[in-house]
């Protein structure tokens, strides 16, 4: 897709065409009415990278093999960066085209903390910050609302219908797919979280306290 620099896109209905964006748990992102799956290449490339790094660590210092192994690792890093950038460009462009405002959980730390704290950031986790920054820049360029919702906002636990904190908490929220609130409604975890982010984002946008 060709993007025209700095030209605002046609305005969309602010109520029909806004979305919360829940990042980085079971899908890459959960949006209003659709999900972005985690790209398979993240996992694939990560395996390759680990293998290449292991090989490098077994090569003697100053050896020819070490030099070669080093180059292989660098090539992989470059390829991963390219694929990540392409993926993010494509997805953020689509979001900006179809949304008048986006409400993103500010959670660069969430995915790390819950999944692979000790192992360091995965290729997937590393991409989340870039995704958010790219999306923010595009929203500014094309006249879309962009709101960051605090990472302390309990988007998963809140019942989007009655407001009770009845949803899955802590590590449990990773395996619970659906849950029933005391008010009787059965929630899909991800869709409920998106609805909560959307409500909170709208509130912040209306209050004018949102980062633009």
The footprint of Zn ion (CB under 5 A) covers 159, 161-162, 164, 181, 183
Dist. CA 50–CA 24, nearest whole Å: 21
Q: Which of these is catalytic: 22, 91, 125, 191?
A: 22
Q: Closer to Zn ion by CB, 78 or 164: give it.
A: 164
Please state the closest distance from residue 192 (CB atom) to Zn ion, in A. Answer: 10
Q: Which is nearer to Zn ion, 91 or 190 (CB)?
A: 190
How many C-beta atoms surround the C-beta of residue 88 within 10 A? Answer: 20
Q: Report DSSP letters for 19-42, one per residue.
A: EEEEESSSSSEEETTEEEPPPHHH
Shorter beta-carbon distance to Zn ion: residue 133 or 161 = 161
CB of 199 to Zn ion, least distance (A): 13
Do the beta carbons of residue 187 and residue 160 sit within 8 Å?
Answer: yes
> Quick check: is 190 catalytic?
yes
Q: Output the smallest distance, CB 11 to Zn ion, in A.
A: 34
Catalytic residue among 18, 190, 191, 200: 190
Tokens matching residue 185: 């409604």
Cα 187 vs. chain centroid, distance in angstroms?
21
- Does an H or E element contain 18, and which? strand 18-23
Beta carbon of residue 187, minimum distance to Zn ion (angstroms, whole number):
8
Task: Point out the catalytic residue in the list 18, 91, 105, 200.
Answer: 105
- The smaller minimum CB distance to Zn ion, of residues 25 and 181, is found at 181
- The whole-angstrom separation of Cα 169 and Cα 166 is 9
The tally of CA atoms less than 13 A away on the side-chain side of residue 44 is 8
E-strand ranges in the chain read 18-23, 29-31, 34-36, 101-105, 145-149, 178-180, 186-188
Report, as residue numbers or ranges, the catalytic residues.
22, 105, 190
């Amino acid at each position: 897709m060709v993007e025209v620099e700095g030209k605002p896109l046609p305005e969309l209905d602010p109520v029909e065409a806004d979305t919360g964006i829940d990042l980085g748990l079971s899908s890459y992102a959960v949006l209003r009415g659709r999900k972005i799956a985690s790209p398979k290449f993240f996992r694939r490339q990560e395996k390759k990278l680990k293998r290449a790094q292991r090989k490098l660590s077994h090569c003697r210092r100053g050896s020819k093999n070490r030099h070669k192994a080093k180059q292989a690792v660098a090539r992989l890093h470059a390829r991963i960066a390219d694929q990540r950038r392409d993926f993010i460009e494509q997805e953020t462009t689509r979001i900006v085209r179809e949304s008048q405002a986006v409400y993103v959980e500010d959670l660069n730390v969430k995915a790390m903390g819950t999944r692979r704290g000790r192992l360091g950031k995965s290729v997937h986790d590393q991409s989340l910050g870039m995704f958010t920054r790219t999306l923010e820049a595009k929203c500014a360029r094309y006249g879309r609302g962009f709101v960051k919702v605090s990472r302390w906002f309990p988007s998963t636990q809140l019942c989007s219908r009655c407001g009770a904190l009845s949803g899955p908490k802590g590590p449990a929220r990773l395996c619970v797919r659906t849950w029933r609130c005391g008010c009787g409604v059965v929630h899909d975890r991800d869709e409920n979280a998106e609805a909560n982010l959307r409500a909170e984002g709208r509130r912040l946008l209306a209050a004018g306290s949102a980062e633009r």
